[in-house]
Amino acid sequence: MADLADDLSTSLGARVSKAETDRVMYARDLWLRHHIDVRAGDIAQHKPAAIVWPRSTEEVAAIVARCAEEGTPLVPFGAGSGVCGGVLPDPRAIVLDLKRMSAVRSLRREMPSVDVEAGALGIRFEEDLQAQGLTLGHFPSSILCSTVGGWVAARSAGQCSGYYGKIEDMVVSLECVVGRGEIVQLKRRITGPDLTPIVTGSEGVLGVVTSAELRLHPKPTKLAFTSYAFPTTEAGWEAMREMFQAGLRPAVCRLYDAFDSFIARRGSVRGQRKGSSPGASASSLAKSTKDAALRLLLRAPSVMNRLIDAVGDRAFGGAMMVLVLEGDASRHAEDLARIRHVAARYEGRDLGEAPARRWYEHRYSVSYRLAPVFMAGAFSDTLEVAAPWSRLGELYREVRRAMGKHVFVMAHLSHAYPDGCSIYFTFAGSAPTREASLALYDSTWRDALEAVVRAGGTISHHHGVGRSKAPRLGSELGLGVEVVRSLMRVFDPAAIFNPGNLLPPVAPRRPAHDRPVPDVTKPRFDDSSLLVEAHGATSLKALEELAHSRGLTLRLPATEETVASFLARGAPGAPDPWEDPVDHLVAGFTARLASGEQLVVHPGPRRAVGPDLYALFAGLSERVGVIESAALRLHRTGLAAHPLACAVPRDPAIGAAERLLIEAVVKETKGTRFQS
């Protein structure tokens, strides 16, 4: 390994380091479980052999080729801000830090779009765009310490996803280094075939993303702010549901449950002032006392959780919603009036602009509020999950109940869509020793993820899977785990890319969601989520007639073509996803693979649990398998979101390298018997 690192430096002129300090710095990401060890003085248990900083795609390709030849693990690295254990190298591994590759290669104002290298730091990239009157519209809380490549790898969501969508909605094309050093350009297509959803969210196990062409928007000239208080959290999310199903697209729509809202209204606790003063000793004593009280409180969290539940939402002033509107300022007044009307239907009390403006001014500070908890001797973490609207209440209650036995928990809802929403749980706990803290942390996560699966949710909406959620991935994706393994054999035949990440160890497979596959001999309507699960043999015309009888529409061609055939052709004539990136046609599906096995992906809004396996069936003319049923989006008659202008090509030509990769994927997935 030492020879390979030295050779990379000599033959490529790449910057390579084997220094102890660098190896410590690149031993992990920000998985909060590690912080418990760090606090105990155990800084780095997984130091890599070396770190390499390439300057070009060609250098990356040469490094990948050498690592594949030697069988050396290679771990792509952006800014290390992931919180799921996606970076955990072994002593043989080379970490590939892409931050020296941060250039904007081209800016196409006619689309508009930008081709930017994967190492570009988020905040600097966005500021440069805004200086030119443009915006990506992607504002994750980690924007100060995350990169474009990291966003793509983890299927990231930004705070303004209600208008601009998630990162996968912004990808026009991806440049990747795969296999044994091959460079391939993958392009997004509406009617397929399209491998960009396979690489997006793959968390470094399929290759190295070296650049991305991303869709842009005009920088908004004016923002609009509004806020509401709802009597209950449920009333608040019902208002959110109605807003998005009515075609409203507030860039930010965040609903804090009653206790989280109570804390937000009181403001954050101020830190100790710098410098000495006559009251410094008293202040230190007060802080020590407060830290001790916090630790004691968190060692009996169930008492606090039960008290909050018993007191009820109204006692804390209800749930608070903050909204920010971007886009065309000429529509803000109309949209605010429509929001006000919906909120009133659910007893929403108008709080004016102030709470939303206050949130906006401090929108990136949330990532820095966990450190004081660790400094006080406790621990804290977050869990972002999602479910269709019809299952959201069960998801909220089940996860709070499961986590509440171990830790103190509160939540907010954000990243809403017409068919469902994400819930972001924040929790804190304490134990007297490191070993006890780790055991408590692990049991909290285990019970929480089991509750998510039991409630019919997805275990990740935008943080990814990493190693923290991998043990439960099989319960959500079932056969899908083995399908991802088959993709890895195509993209990474030498098995060098980020080994140990994303997928659980090989083990007996469990059914997806631990739930039986629904009987869709007759279409099953989910009126709350505006979804219909239909058999693949159902004609679009018959399905539209059933939807119309309920005051709904599919907005699809009302022909005798079957659902399965229509999706296999890439759904030509369906609503253009570039015009409304928040809305997707297919929320879930079942497919019969060439092996005869059934792949089940239950409905869920915009999951981030690895590659999007629907891409294996959309536009591939049943070459991988046949869609047996699909959960399709319904729309209320006459209601639609304002279309977003976009000149991005809908179905660009397939390049030679991309075609070879598509053919290899088809051959591998068709030829694999996953049960063997």
- Residue 201's nearest CA partner among 559, 615, 526 is 615
pLDDT band per the 50, 70, 90 thresholds, residue 539: very high
pLDDT band per the 50, 70, 90 thresholds, residue 292: low
Print burial letters for 559-579: b (CB count within 10 Å at least 16), e (below 16). eebbbbbbbbbbbeebbebbe
Residue with tokens 């990474």: 492
Bridge-based pairing of strands 94-97 and 50-53 is parallel
What percent of the chain lies above the pLDDT cut of 70? 92
Ramachandran region, residue 85 (left: φ > 0; alpha: ψ -120 to 50; beta: rest): left
Q: Where are the domains of the chain?
A: 224-267+291-455, 514-671
262 pLDDT above the threshold of 90 = no
- Return the pLDDT at 148: 98
- Residue 33's nearest CA partner among 447, 440, 439, 438 is 438
pLDDT band per the 50, 70, 90 thresholds, residue 661: very high
- Return the pLDDT at 306: 81
Bridge-based pairing of strands 113-117 and 104-108 is antiparallel
Average the pLDDT over 246-265 and give the result.
88
Cα–Cα distance between 139 and 147 in angstroms, integer? Answer: 11
Q: Residues 491, 495, 496, 501: is their CA dihedral positive or negative? A: positive
Which H or E run includes 311?
helix 301-311
Angle (CA) 643 644 650, round 5°: 100
Query: What mean pLDDT, rounded, does the chain reach?
Result: 91
pLDDT band per the 50, 70, 90 thresholds, residue 279: very low
158 pLDDT above the threshold of 70 = yes
Cα–Cα distance between 309 and 600 in angstroms, integer? Answer: 36
294 pLDDT above the threshold of 70 = no
CATH number 3.30.450.90 is the correct assignment for the domain at 514-671: no
Angle of helix 258-266 versus helix 354-361 axis, rounded to 10 = 80
Average the pLDDT over 266-286 and give the result.
43
- Return the pLDDT at 420: 98
Give residue-wise pLDDT tens across range 6-48. 888 887 878 999 999 999 999 999 999 999 998 888 888 899 9
Average the pLDDT over 395-399 and give the result.
97
Cα–Cα distance between 489 and 205 in angstroms, integer? Answer: 10
Sheet containing strand 531-535, strands side by side: 524-526, 531-535, 625-633, 586-593, 598-601
Local structure of 442: helix, strand or coil: helix
Cα–Cα distance between 631 and 409 in angstroms, integer? Answer: 32
- Return the pLDDT at 633: 98
- Return the pLDDT at 261: 77
- Return the pLDDT at 311: 74
Q: Of 40-49, 363-372, 447-456, which has the strongest mean pLDDT?
A: 447-456
- Return the pLDDT at 372: 83
Say yes or no: do domains 224-267+291-455 and 514-671 share a fold: no
pLDDT band per the 50, 70, 90 thresholds, residue 285: very low
Angle (CA) 165 646 246, round 5°: 50
Question: Which position has the higher pLDDT, 671 or 19?
Answer: 19
Within 10 angstroms of residue 401's Cβ, the number of other Cβ atoms is 15
- Residue 583's nearest CA partner among 648, 644, 518, 520 is 644
pTM listed for this prediction:
0.94
Give residue-wise pLDDT tens across range 460-517. 999 999 999 999 999 999 999 999 999 999 999 999 999 999 998 875 455 444 566 7
Average the pLDDT over 103-121 and give the result.
97
- Return the pLDDT at 508: 47
Cα–Cα distance between 175 and 626 in angstroms, integer? Answer: 29
- Return the pLDDT at 42: 87
pLDDT band per the 50, 70, 90 thresholds, residue 520: confident
Average the pLDDT over 112-140 and give the result.
98
CATH code for the part of the protein at 224-267+291-455? 3.40.462.40
pLDDT band per the 50, 70, 90 thresholds, residue 293: low
What would you report as the CA-atom Rg of the chain, rounded to the nearest whole angstrom? 25
Question: Which position has the higher pLDDT, 524 or 518?
Answer: 524
Angle (CA) 578 419 193, round 5°: 40
378 pLDDT above the threshold of 50 = yes
How far is CA 216 from each of CA 108, 117, 262, 331, 600, rounded to the nearest angstrom? 9, 15, 37, 20, 34
Average the pLDDT over 370-397 and give the result.
93
How far is CA 546 from each of CA 328, 382, 538, 540, 634, rounded to the nearest angstrom? 36, 41, 11, 10, 11
Cis peptide before 112 (omega within 30 of 0): yes
Tokens of 100: 């020296």
How far is CA 451 from each of CA 296, 398, 432, 446, 456, rounded to the nearest angstrom? 26, 6, 27, 9, 9
- Return the pLDDT at 281: 45
- Return the pLDDT at 676: 40
Q: Residues 464, 469, 474, 478: is their CA dihedral positive or negative? A: negative
